[in-house]
Structure formats: C-alpha cells, structure tokens
C-alpha cells in the first residue's frame, strides 16, 4: 500500500515558538522532559476518566503508565504513554496550534525582538509544552491512537515551519513521542538525554509526584554468580531491568514536613499552568466521618480572566487518587475562585456528576471547611509581624475578597477582618477596620468613608473638610466594587459605616454637637427665604438646600440622604449600562461662614428680586459638581455664567 503523506504548515504563532525553541540559548533545556511527561500524565488522567463512563474500553490487566525508551545507537528518546491518544483531527488541532492565551500574549510581547531574556522567561517559567522538545531534538515524531478508535496517526517535523502527517499502525491506544536527539554539548548546557541516569535525575526533580509510574529500562552492573549461585569476587555483569523512576506519592497525601519547596513549586506549575511561583500553600487533612485531603495554593498574581464571568475555575477533584474533574467549581465559593489546588475525597462516588455535586452534602461540608481554613490562613498572613506577603495578596485579590461580603453571609465577620483601605491618615499605608476603630476619636460613633473615582478626587473633596479640621480619619473607598461592598457591610463591631457624603454630619463632643446644631438651626431659619430661592432656581437637580456643618474652606458641596446612591455609584452604573439612569436629586449644603455665602446673603437682603442671585446659585452648583468629581449638567451654560461674572468683576 502506498503511504499517503500530507504536509501541513504550522500556525504563525507556532512557527514563532518553534523558531524560539530551535535557536534558544535557554540553559535549562532539560525541562522538555517535564513538559512531555506532564502531557502524558494528562492523557492518562483523561483516559482513566473516560473509563468511568465507557468501562467497555477498559482492558483487563492494563496498567496506565509512562515509559521512557532510549536507543543509544540511533540517539533517540521516546516517551510512551497508554493514555487517551489523539485522532488525526486532534493532532492537527492540538499539535499545530497554540491554545494558551498566556503563551500567545507572551509571544506578542516578543514579536520582532531578539530579547533573549524574555524568551528565556517564556520557556523556563511558562513552560511551552510539546514544542520545548525542539530545544534538544532536531526531529520529533509522534505516533498516536485515540482510545476507542482503530486508526493511528503519525506526525513528524523538524520544526522548519511544516509538519508531515500520515496514517500509521499502532497496536494499542496512547501516544509515543520520539525525539531524535541533538549531540550532547555540555558547553551549551545540552546534556546527554540518551543517558538513563540523566533521565532519572530529571524525573526525580520535576515529576516525582506524577501519579502514574514513569518506567525506564536501566542498565545495572550486578555481581556475577557462579553455577551454584554464589557471587564471584570482583566480577560484574550488566543486566537490564525496568524500574520506576518516580515515587508516585501524591503531595497531598504527605505530611507538611515531607513537602519540599521545589516539589511544591513544580506541582503548582503542573496543576495551575502558572509560571509564576505561588505565594503560599495550605495543606489540609480531614479524618473522621468524612475523609479528604486538600493542597491549596494562593497564586502570586491574578489571572487575566479573574473578573470575567464565563471563565473556567475551580479546584481539581480527585476521588481516591483518581482525577475526576479538572475544574470543580463547587468546592469553593466564587469569591475564592483564584485559589488553585486539589481536593482528594475518599467518600464521593467515582462517577459523580456535575449535577450531583451541586447538591452533595459532602461537597457542601468540604466547601465550608476549605473556606474557613483559607480565611484563617489569610488572617494569619495579615496579622503576621511581616505582612508583606499579605499586602501582595491583597493587591492581587482584594477585590475578589470584597465580593465575599455580598456572597458569604456566614463568614462576613471573618471577611471584614481581611479588608484593607486607603485612608486620610497616611497615604503610604493601608488600614484595616480594626486599626481604624482602635484609633477612633473619643465620642466618634461611626466609621467614616467616602467613595470616589481615585484617591486624588476623594482627597480633595469638600466633604472631608470638617473631618480634616477635627483630625477624624476617613476611609477612601476608591475601588469600583466598594460601592456595592458598603451596601452589604453596614457595620463593623457595632460601629456603623457612614459615608461623609450622606446624611447630616456631627463631629465633636456631645456638648459641641448640641451647640453647633442649635446655632445652625437658628441661622438656617434666618436665611430660609434665600435658601428657598436657590432651591427654586435649581429644582431640576436639587431637592433641598441647607446650611452645612461639614465645610470649612469650600463654599458649597452636594450630599445625599442616608439611603441615596452616591454620585460615584451613579457614575459607575452609567458607565456600565447603555441606558442612562435618571439622575437622583441631591441636597446642596452651603458653608454659612464662607465669604461667598455672606456676600450672597447681603445682596439678597438688599434686593430679594436681584436676578444675579439665581446665576450665582447655578455657578455654586457647578462648583460643587466639579469638586466631587462629577460632570456638569450643562458645561456650556456654566462657562457662559463664569465668563459673564468675570466680565462684571473686571469692569467693576
Ligand atoms: P499544553 O499541554 O500546555 O496544552 P502542549 O503543546 O504541550 O500544550 O500540548 C498541546 C495539546 O496536545 C495538549 O493540550 C493535548 O491535548 C495534546 N497532547 C499533547 N501530548 C499528548 C499526549 N501524550 N497524549 C494525548 N494528547 C496530547
């Protein structure tokens, strides 16, 4: 039969990656083996999972395993697995293109540059899968057969931009990747990967925890024996024996003291596909009526899709060492979706389905326990003498944690204890609610905050003036999610959270408050006709005009009632929705001590019909909007008013 060989071209990005591999000066070339073993292990996991639903595929006496085979003469190394395998379409799709968005992004950073450092980062930390074999081989052949199908496929490439595909014969399912090794070149850190001792070393280093045996024929010199079976002194013969290189002991079944740093970090890379080291880990073992183990990791950086609703997330779920779900969402609440790791349960059925999981009592219990342990761990990190690690965590995942206040009522207090905010106290330091309450002033009843677009905007807001003057600390809530957060977090340890932009504000001792309030009420009665006039003029936007107790330097500000949305919230909603919400009417507060108010009052007393009073009212409204970071209702009108006022005062 004539063999039909097709030639295909690699996708552009793949070509780029291959070019990088072939010309790589990356010193740690041995990681190719980790990548190929990791692929083989994934393929075995997939097959084991498929057996759960298609038990008829399973053959008796079949051991799922990875085998390394060396041919010293031909200088080849083959990585065999009897996993799920691929059919022709899958080979073209999986081996010809790059699926990982992360790799693609890294590549686009590299475009056109010969940045060796960047490419080393890409290779070393991110791991570049199958293609890394081209660092050590100048030709790679792959022979594969999908479980449950008859035909096998052969794929071959020298990494030059094209690959060849043909039909082939393979007696059983699985994949064999054969590397035609380059000559060893110690000067360029190219070890001899046809040497089984090297292979053993590399497997131990990177893949010891792989849960399938990684077997290899090893040559050994054993003492020679005579016909009676006695050892002959100083004489040896070489035998070949197949041995297993890895211990296969899953990390999560070990004790904390048995976990080695390197191994943990390799394991994290393997399960999380994250090239950056994890921030920290948490090993949990639960024994009793419900038995399970978990090994969880906090990544050091957020994934790009952390806030993307449809993104896949969840921990790996094993049942008695068998991986049954790559991404099991049910094991953690959504606000902890950034946590990576594995849970291995002894009590779930192997064929557990997604639907079952959602109602499973065990899963609910596991989720509760993991959540509590994670929150405890975070608290411990936060309260550590050196909390640098927590600050890093907070920067990466603080926003997600805040979602927990709305999502997880049961743990609300625990979550509240993890929050950190900017505040008026120290621009360099974040403050927790506990620290805030510990330094509250005598007589201060509420935890004050102001929401806004940025520290810059909030810091200059007129709403803060009285607080600054009295030295009362105000939290700056400048994260978009903070607006939602304060709807759910209304108190902390019996102290109310109160916006300085809402309601009436009284600061000082009870006596001071009473006195100030009395004075303000009297004054307000006195100037009521002016306030009414301003309100009439601005009635489209303003529902009340009153004298303020929160201003010291500014003439005016806008506030809301206790339950009104803040201006910032309106701004955010309108950003995210195409149909604009109708604007809420606000309350205008005037500073009774300010010269502008005093002069305005004089002018009004002189002539209650003076039309300029209305113009000034409009300008004051514009001023107040700009001061809090809101948009003007009518910028053109505002400019006209300011210009004509300047004209008048210049010609006066
Ligand atoms: P990654 O493993 O990060 O997805 P690779 O380039 O290493 O990237 O592999 C691409 C894809 O090729 C894998 O996701 C898998 O679908 C398939 N593949 C690779 N090696 C094997 C194998 N030994 N058995 C089955 N499929 C494999």
Element spanning 379, H or E: helix 361-383
**Over 80: is that where the pLDDT of 82 sits?**
yes
**Over 70: is that where the pLDDT of 430 sits?**
yes
| Predicted confidence (pLDDT) per residue in 154-163, tens digit | 999 999 889 9
Q: Which CATH number fits domain 5-244: 3.40.190.10, 3.50.50.60, 3.30.565.10, 3.30.2290.10?
A: 3.30.565.10
Would you place residue 476 in the very low, low, confident or very high pLDDT band (cuts 50, 70, 90)? very high
The tokens 């010269």 sit on which residue?
Answer: 595
pLDDT (0 to 100) of residue 113: 62
70 Cα to the center of ligand 1, angstroms = 22
* Exposure of 224 in the CB half-sphere (CA atoms within 13 A): 8
The tokens 């072939």 sit on which residue?
Answer: 22
Pick the residue whose CA is nearest to atom 13 on ligand 1: 94
pLDDT (0 to 100) of residue 514: 85
> Does residue 208 contact residue 41 with C-beta atoms inside 8 Å?
no
Q: Which atom of ligand 1 is nearest to the CA of 84?
A: 25
Give the residue, out of 47, 91, 94, with the most ligand 1 atoms within 8 A of its beta carbon, to mutate for a pocket test.
94
Q: Which atom of ligand 1 is nearest to the CA of 273?
A: 3
pLDDT (0 to 100) of residue 515: 86
- Least-confidence region, from 35-44, 305-314, 391-400, 442-451: 305-314
Phi, psi of 603 (to 5 degrees): -60, -40
Would you place residue 53 in the very low, low, confident or very high pLDDT band (cuts 50, 70, 90)? confident
**Over 70: is that where the pLDDT of 283 sits?**
yes
Choose the most confident range, by mean pLDDT, from 232-246, 258-272, 381-395, 577-591.
Answer: 381-395
- CA angle, residues 642, 645, 650, in degrees to nearest 5: 125
For residues 121 and 622, which has the higher predicted lDDT (pLDDT)?
A: 622
Would you place residue 126 in the very low, low, confident or very high pLDDT band (cuts 50, 70, 90)? low
**Over 90: is that where the pLDDT of 34 sits?**
no
pLDDT (0 to 100) of residue 111: 66
Mean pLDDT across the stretch 321-326? 80
Choose the most confident range, by mean pLDDT, from 3-17, 513-527, 531-545.
Answer: 531-545
Give the residue among 102, 122, 100, 101 at the shortest CA–CA distance from 113: 122
Name the percent of the chain lying above pLDDT 70. 95
Name the percent of the chain lying above pLDDT 90. 59
Give the residue, out of 40, 42, 135, with the most ligand 1 atoms within 8 A of its beta carbon, to mutate for a pocket test.
42
DSSP 544: E
Pick the residue whose CA is nearest to atom 16 on ligand 1: 94
DSSP 461: -
**Over 60: is that where the pLDDT of 125 sits?**
no
240 Cα to the center of ligand 1, angstroms = 31
> Does residue 341 contact residue 259 with C-beta atoms inside 8 Å?
no
For residues 52 and 137, which has the higher predicted lDDT (pLDDT)?
A: 137
**Over 60: is that where the pLDDT of 639 sits?**
yes
Choose the most confident range, by mean pLDDT, from 49-53, 623-627, 648-652.
Answer: 623-627
267 Cα to the center of ligand 1, angstroms = 18
130 Cα to the center of ligand 1, angstroms = 7
| Predicted confidence (pLDDT) per residue in 92-113, tens digit | 999 977 766 666 776 777 666 6
Give the residue, out of 47, 81, 122, 130, with the most ligand 1 atoms within 8 A of its beta carbon, to mutate for a pocket test.
130
In CATH, the architecture of 513-563+570-651 is Up-down Bundle (1.20)
143 Cα to the center of ligand 1, angstroms = 13
Would you place residue 21 in the very low, low, confident or very high pLDDT band (cuts 50, 70, 90)? confident
Pick the residue whose CA is nearest to atom 19 on ligand 1: 39
Would you place residue 117 in the very low, low, confident or very high pLDDT band (cuts 50, 70, 90)? confident
For residues 442 and 108, which has the higher predicted lDDT (pLDDT)?
A: 442
Mean pLDDT across the stretch 565-591? 80
| Predicted confidence (pLDDT) per residue in 542-552, tens digit | 999 999 988 88
Pick the residue whose CA is nearest to atom 18 on ligand 1: 39
* 115 contacts: CB under 8 Å, gap ≥ 6: none
DSSP 431: B
Mean pLDDT across the stretch 202-221? 88
Could you give the CA distance from residue 134 to residue 182 in angstroms, rounded to a whole number? 9
Phi, psi of 418 (to 5 degrees): -95, -10
Would you place residue 342 in the very low, low, confident or very high pLDDT band (cuts 50, 70, 90)? very high
For residues 352 and 284, which has the higher predicted lDDT (pLDDT)?
A: 284
pLDDT (0 to 100) of residue 561: 85
**Over 90: is that where the pLDDT of 541 sits?**
yes
Give the residue, out of 39, 176, 269, with the most ligand 1 atoms within 8 A of its beta carbon, to mutate for a pocket test.
39
Pick the residue whose CA is nearest to atom 8 on ligand 1: 129
- Least-confidence region, from 206-210, 350-354, 422-426, 440-444: 350-354
Across all residues in the chain, what is the average pLDDT? Answer: 89
For residues 573 and 312, which has the higher predicted lDDT (pLDDT)?
A: 312
Would you place residue 349 in the very low, low, confident or very high pLDDT band (cuts 50, 70, 90)? confident
94 Cα to the center of ligand 1, angstroms = 6
Residues contacting ligand 1 via CB (< 6 Å): 35, 39-40, 43, 81, 83-86, 94-95, 99-100, 129-130, 175
**Over 60: is that where the pLDDT of 1 sits?**
no
Pick the residue whose CA is nearest to atom 21 on ligand 1: 39
Residue 624 vs residues 51, 360, 556, 589, 621: alpha-carbon distances, Å: 68, 55, 6, 9, 5
Q: What is the maximum span of the chain, computed from C-alpha positions, in angstroms?
A: 130
pLDDT (0 to 100) of residue 550: 86
Domain ranges of the chain: 5-244, 251-382, 513-563+570-651
Could you give the CA distance from residue 339 to residue 318 in angstroms, rounded to a whole number? 16
CATH fold for domain 251-382: Ribosomal Protein S5; domain 2 (3.30.230)
Mean pLDDT across the stretch 71-91? 96
Pick the residue whose CA is nearest to atom 5 on ligand 1: 129
Q: Which two tokens stand for residue 308?
A: 């993307």
The tokens 């309350």 sit on which residue?
Answer: 587
| Predicted confidence (pLDDT) per residue in 483-516, tens digit | 889 999 999 999 999 999 887 777 777 788 788 8
Phi, psi of 241 (to 5 degrees): -135, 140
């Amino acid at each position: 039969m004539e063999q039909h060989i097709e030639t295909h071209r690699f996708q552009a990005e793949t070509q780029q990656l291959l070019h990088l591999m072939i010309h790589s000066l990356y010193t740690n070339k041995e990681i190719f083996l980790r990548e190929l073993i990791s692929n083989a292990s994934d393929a075995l996991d997939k097959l084991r999972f498929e057996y759960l639903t298609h038990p008829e595929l399973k053959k008796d006496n079949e051991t799922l395993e990875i085998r390394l085979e060396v041919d010293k003469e031909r200088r080849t190394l083959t990585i065999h697995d009897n996993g799920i395998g691929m059919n022709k379409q899958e080979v073209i799709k999986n081996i010809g293109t790059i699926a990982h968005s992360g790799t693609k992004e890294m590549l686009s950073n590299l475009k056109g540059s010969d940045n060796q450092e960047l490419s080393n980062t890409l290779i070393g930390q991110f791991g570049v899968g199958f293609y890394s074999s081209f660092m050590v081989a100048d030709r790679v052949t792959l022979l594969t057969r999908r479980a449950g199908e008859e035909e096998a496929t052969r794929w071959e490439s020298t990494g030059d931009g094209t690959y060849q595909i043909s039909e082939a014969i393979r007696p059983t399912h699985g994949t064999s990747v054969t590397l035609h090794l380059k000559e060893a070149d110690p000067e360029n850190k190219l070890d001899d990967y046809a040497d089984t001792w090297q292979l053993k070393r590399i497997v131990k280093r990177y893949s010891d925890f792989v849960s399938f045996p990684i077997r290899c024929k090893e040559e050994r010199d054993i003492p020679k024996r005579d016909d009676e079976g006695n050892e002959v002194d100083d004489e040896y013969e070489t035998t070949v024996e197949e041995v297993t290189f890895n211990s296969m002991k899953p990390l999560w079944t070990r004790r904390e003291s048995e976990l080695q740093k390197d191994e943990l970090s390799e394991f994290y890379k393997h399960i999380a596909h994250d090239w950056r080291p994890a921030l920290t880990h948490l090993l949990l073992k639960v024994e009793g009526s419900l038995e399970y183990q978990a090994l969880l990791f906090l990544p050091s950086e957020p994934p790009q899709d952390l806030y993307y609703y449809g993104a896949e997330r969840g921990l790996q779920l094993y049942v008695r060492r068998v991986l049954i779900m790559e991404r099991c969402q049910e094991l953690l609440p959504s606000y902890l979706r950034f946590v990576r790791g594995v849970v291995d349960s002894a009590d779930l059925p192997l064929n557990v389905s997604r639907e079952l999981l959602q109602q499973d009592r065990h899963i609910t219990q596991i989720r509760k326990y993991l959540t509590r342990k994670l929150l405890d761990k975070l608290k411990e990190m936060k309260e550590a003498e050196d909390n640098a690690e927590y600050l890093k965590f907070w920067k990466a995942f603080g926003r997600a944690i805040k979602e927990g206040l709305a999502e997880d009522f049961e743990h609300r207090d625990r979550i509240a204890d993890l929050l950190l905010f900017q505040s008026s106290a120290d621009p360099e330091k974040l403050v927790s609610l506990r620290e805030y309450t510990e330094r509250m002033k005598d007589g201060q009843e509420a935890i004050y905050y102001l929401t806004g677009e940025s520290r810059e905007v909030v810091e200059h807001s007129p709403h803060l003036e009285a607080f600054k003057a009295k030295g009362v600390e105000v939290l700056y809530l400048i994260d978009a999610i903070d607006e939602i957060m304060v709807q759910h977090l209304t108190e902390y340890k019996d102290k109310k959270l109160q916006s300085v932009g809402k309601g009436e504000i009284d600061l000082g001792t009870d006596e001071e408050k009473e006195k100030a309030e009395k004075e303000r009420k009297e004054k307000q009665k006195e100037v009521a006709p002016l306030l009414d006039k301003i309100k009439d003029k601005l009635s489209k936007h303003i529902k009340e005009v009153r004298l303020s107790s929160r201003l010291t330097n500014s003439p005016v500000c806008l506030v809301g009632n206790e339950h009104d949305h803040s201006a910032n919230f309106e701004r955010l909603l309108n950003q995210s929705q195409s149909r604009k919400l109708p604007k809420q009417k606000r309350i205008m507060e005037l500073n009774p001590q300010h010269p502008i108010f005093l002069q305005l009052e004089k002018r009004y007393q002189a002539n209650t019909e003076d039309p300029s009073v209305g113009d000034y009212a409009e300008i004051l409204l514009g001023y107040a909007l700009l001061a809090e970071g809101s948009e003007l209702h009518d910028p053109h009108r505002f400019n006209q008013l300011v210009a004509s006022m300047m004209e008048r005062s210049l010609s006066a």
